[in-house]
Amino acid sequence: MDNFPRRPAGPGMLALVGGAMTGSTGARGTHRTLSPGCCPRCFLGFLRLRGPHMHPMVKPALRRGWRDLNTVQFGMTPAHALTLGPVDTATGSFLELLNGTRGLPLLREEGRRMDLPEGHVDRLVTRLARAGLLDDARGGGAAARALREKKEVLDRLRPDLASLSLVAREPGEAIDRLAARRDLRVQVRGAGRVGAVLAALLSGAGIGEVDVLDGGCVEPWDVAPGGLPVEAVGERRTAAARRAVRRAAPDRPARRGPGAPHESHVSHETRESHESYESYGDGEPGHSLVILAPRDDLTVHAPDPVAAAALITSGTPHLYAGVVEATGVVGPLVLPGQTGCAECLHRGRTDRDETWPRLVAQWRSGRRRHVRPCDLALATTVAGLAAAQALAFLDGESPSGVGVRWEVSAPGLNWRARPVWPHPDCPCGAGRKPVAEDTSNEGASRETMAGQRPSSTPCRRADAARLAGTWRAHV
């Protein structure tokens, strides 16, 4: 929008006030005036692509309120709010017609009946779309059309669709993203209080296939709302978790392919004796993402690089999540060859503290505790944030977990970001990748969750050199 010629707003013009709004009062930010002299190439290109079939609607997810007689605000929070003004009476009335029930030809007729200037409707629709305020009630590709035909499924996912519309700028992009989730395959390794809830959340959010792997049988302390039910106690964890995933799915998941791992591929004895999961789950390229959510707190605190070796080799993105003592951990989200991995984390800790390997060896050889600390509310919080990070990545965004471990400890519950830097000696190769010097001042904003901003960088191009912050301790 900054390429538009600027001049004072007058009748029939719209001035967009950017969403740089602070506090609950919604103080105005910088005015960006859009004149009727819109770039013809952008204007005609937009209508050529969407005009004939587009049914525009102002995004219903954004609450609307009039700040005064000539200024309307869409949205409430600083991240999404935009203000339009000055808006004359006719244009304000016309905004009510942008509800997805009319195509552009009918909207033009309505505009003429309301004595709006010739071309005003097209310019208004184009500007609203470019500002990210407009959706298309019939937009999207073939997958989106197929999803609309499944009314019961779409009704289950309508809150997710509304949320996606706030981060997807293009009309019709939100339902395209939602429909694309149905073709994705995600594997969750671990079916405890974190893993089972996380897998169910991903399934409920529309991921087409969520496979869960774990060993042993469900214990009473594995039960969690949204995860494993009390009726599953005594059953195999993998089977019980997969049933929870199916219950959470909006519709029947896609049929498992021949290369997908099956519970019968690994014996009960093998699974029970390998808590770090290195003995099963190959993370073949067919997985869009693998999430490691072990029940073992040591594996959460000091992830075993061997468990992710096959994922690094195959180039499969993977995310860590879990609870250790009274601390929840989400991340890092590893992009093999680009960002720091579990081996990078181990080598970096060893560089800062030469006793680190000795401590890990003692912890691993010590007496195994029957029940590990895992606060239910903390575990659910971790599962929720991990699911949100995973969905953002799968939707094509670059979440804040790329190359970063987010940690939150009871009782303060303040999130902290601990970068996982690529190590130059790690065989994953991320530390040997040439990176440009980062001179940005991102360190302060990375320290807390509140400082995060959405990134426009594609998720698979995320660069670890941009992840700023400091380590508070070597562990």
What would the CATH number be for the domain defined by 184-466? 3.40.50.720
User: What's the pLDDT band for 50 if we cut at 50, 70, 90?
Assistant: low
Q: Give the pLDDT confidence of 405-425 residue by residue, as tens digits.
A: 999 999 999 999 999 999 999
pLDDT at 397 over 60: yes
Cβ(259)–Cβ(286) under 8 Å?
yes
User: Which two structure tokens, joined as six digits, stand for 154?
Assistant: 């779409």
Cβ(53)–Cβ(138) under 8 Å?
yes
CB atoms within 10 A of CB 468: 17
Pairing of strands 209-213, 185-189: parallel
Quick one: CA dihedral 236, 240, 241, 242, positive or negative?
A: positive
Task: Write the class of the CATH domain 14-136.
Answer: alpha beta
User: Which two structure tokens, joined as six digits, stand for 311?
Assistant: 């994922």
Rg (CA), the chain: 25
> At residue 31, what are phi and psi to the nearest 5 degrees?
-75, 130
Q: Give the pLDDT confidence of 284-338 residue by residue, as tens digits.
A: 448 999 999 999 999 999 999 999 999 999 999 999 999 999 999 999 999 999 9
Helix (H) or strand (E) holding 417: strand 416-419
Q: What DSSP line would sit under 171-234, residue for residue?
A: TTHHHHHHHHGGG-EEEEE--STTHHHHHHHHHHTT-SEEEEE--SB--GGGB-TTSB-GGGTT
DSSP-derived secondary structure letter, 429: S
Q: Give the pLDDT confidence of 151-189 residue by residue, as tens digits.
A: 999 999 999 999 999 999 899 999 999 999 999 999 999
Cα angle for residues 284, 286, 288 (degrees, 5° grid)? 105
CA torsion, ordered 331, 334, 339, 342, to nearest 10 deg: 70
CA torsion, ordered 154, 157, 159, 160, to nearest 10 deg: -120
Q: What DSSP line would sit under 90-129, residue for residue?
A: HHHHHHTT-BSSS-HHHHHHHHHHTTPPTTHHHHHHHHHH
The pLDDT value given to residue 371: 87
User: Which two structure tokens, joined as six digits, stand for 300?
Assistant: 């959460």
User: Rounded to an integer, what is the distance from CA 344 to the centroid of its chain?
Assistant: 24
Q: Give long-range contacts, CB 8 A cutoff, 24+ apart: 218-223.
A: 218/191, 221/193, 221/371, 221/374, 222/191, 222/192, 222/193, 222/196, 222/295
CA distances 38 to 10, 31, 42, 128, 129, Å, are 15, 17, 8, 12, 13
pTM, entire model: 0.78
Q: Give the pLDDT confidence of 337-358 residue by residue, as tens digits.
A: 999 999 999 999 999 999 999 9
Return the minimum-mean-pLDDT range out of 189-193, 216-220, 453-457. Answer: 453-457
Reference 191, options 250, 137, 272, 85; nearest CA is 272
pLDDT at 109 over 70: yes
What is the overall mean pLDDT for the chain?
A: 79
Q: Which residues of 237-271 are buried (b: 16+ CB within 10 A; e: fewer)?
A: bbbbbbbbbeebbbeebeeeeeeebebeebeeeeb
Sequence spans of domains, the chain: 14-136, 142-179, 184-466
